A = this chain, B = another copy of it.
Amino acid sequence: MSVDLKEFLSYVAKRVDEYMLSKIVGEPSVLYQAARHYIVAGGKRLRPAIAIAVARMLGGSEEVAIPLAASLEVLHTFTLIHDDIIDQDDVRRGVPTVHRVWGVGKAIVAGDLLHSFSYRAIVDAVERGLDPEHGLRAVKVLAEASIEICEGQIMDMDFPTMERVSVDQYIEMVSKKTGALFEASARMGAIAARAPQSVEESIGRALRLAGIAFQIKDDILGIVGDEKVLGKPVYSDLREGKRTLPIIYALNNVDEGSRRELLRVLGNRNATREDFERAKSIIVECGAIDYSEKMARRYLDEALKIVESIDAREPSYRDLLKSLMTLMVERRR
């Protein structure tokens, strides 16, 4: 039996959204509207899909996997709300950002609310039959991932103030900011299946690598992606002065004149569309996109190799997981 990736993704989205929207309810209604805003707006639900695919691959029950999968998506959503405040972004998933609609103060609290609900969902998994030992393990995994996310976020914020950012520093940053939660997603699946700790660690390692590849792809789309497909303004990475992989590569490899031109545009909120287009050409022409694509592919291949080596109770779900990981790098949005 083989599982269709597209069908699986829409099945996961349906189950996890149902769960999230039935739990994240309460008063004052303005708080819950703000907290549900990005959930209602859609999204790929990649992290829940990974958790559920891993759980199924290792013989776990969906009943328990769903709240654990939801805890990851809820945590992810909270970080998006806070990141959008920090980056002063106006649009996300085709809708105005939470702080643009409800103001910064309420957006901060809406994020905090979701952060709390992500732990509440783990308690739910135990109420649905997961043993408390594994429940506690899930709490540890989630807490440690979110600590890393905060660390990565601060590194990301500080990069624009640094004279030079190396590729190693970049990889460390995205490993924390993005890789950690993908690792947690895989671990949650393994926990739902009560897999041995060594399996949890291997699958976690694989998905951290895939998460790094995912972020590199995000960076690439931030330069050459299609605004309409992405649902958010292109060039926002350039406008915010982010040090993404293509930008780092370009800054470290172009001639001094082009480097100075790039630096003038990066983080310049008054830069024009023409400035951004000129910066984009510099980045594309120096080979930064090719370099980044190859780097993403290398991380993905390493991740797939690890997944291949893990004993699967249900091999069709291992194949599904591999397709999912490949999609993380081959997507257009």
Question: Footprint of B on A, CB under 8 Å?
Answer: 26-28, 30-31, 79, 82, 85-86, 104-106, 108-113, 115-117, 119-120, 122-123, 126, 131-133, 135-136, 139-140, 142-144, 146-147, 150-151, 153-155, 157-158
Q: Which of B82, B85, B143 contacts A119 (CB 8 A)?
A: B143
- A104, A119, A146 pick with most chain B CB within 10 angstroms: A119
14 additional A-B pairs beyond A109-B150, A123-B136, beta carbons within 8 Å, are A30-B158, A31-B151, A79-B112, A86-B109, A106-B154, A116-B143, A116-B147, A119-B119, A120-B140, A120-B144, A132-B133, A135-B136, A136-B139, A139-B139
Q: Complex Cα distance A132/B132, Å?
A: 5
A-B contact pairs, 10 of them (CB 8 A): A26-B151, A28-B158, A85-B108, A106-B154, A106-B157, A112-B112, A113-B150, A113-B151, A116-B143, A123-B139
> In the bound complex, do residue A112 and residue B143 qualify as a contact, i.e. CB atoms below 8 Å apart?
no
- Interfacial chain B residues near A108, Cβ < 8 Å: 82, 85-86, 108
* This chain's copy number in the assembly: 2
Given the contacts A115-B112, A119-B119, A154-B109, A136 and B126 also touching, CB distance less than 8 Å: yes
Q: Name which residue of chain B comes closest to A119, CB basis.
A: B143
- Interfacial chain B residues near A140, Cβ < 8 Å: 120, 123
- A85, A136, A140, A142 pick with most chain B CB within 10 angstroms: A136
- A31, A142, A154 pick with most chain B CB within 10 angstroms: A154
Interface of A is mostly: helix
Measured CB to CB, the closest approach of chain B to A20, in angstroms, equals 14
Q: Name which residue of chain B comes closest to A112, CB basis.
A: B150
- Interfacial chain B residues near A105, Cβ < 8 Å: 85-86, 157
Given the contacts A132-B133, A133-B132, A147-B120, A109 and B153 also touching, CB distance less than 8 Å: yes
Q: Closest 4 interchain pairs by CB?
A: A132-B132, A86-B105, A116-B146, A113-B150
Given the contacts A105-B157, A139-B122, A27 and B117 also touching, CB distance less than 8 Å: no
Q: Complex Cα distance A30/B157, Å?
A: 11
> In the bound complex, do residue B116 and residue A150 qualify as a contact, i.e. CB atoms below 8 Å apart?
yes
Q: Complex Cα distance A144/B121, Å?
A: 11
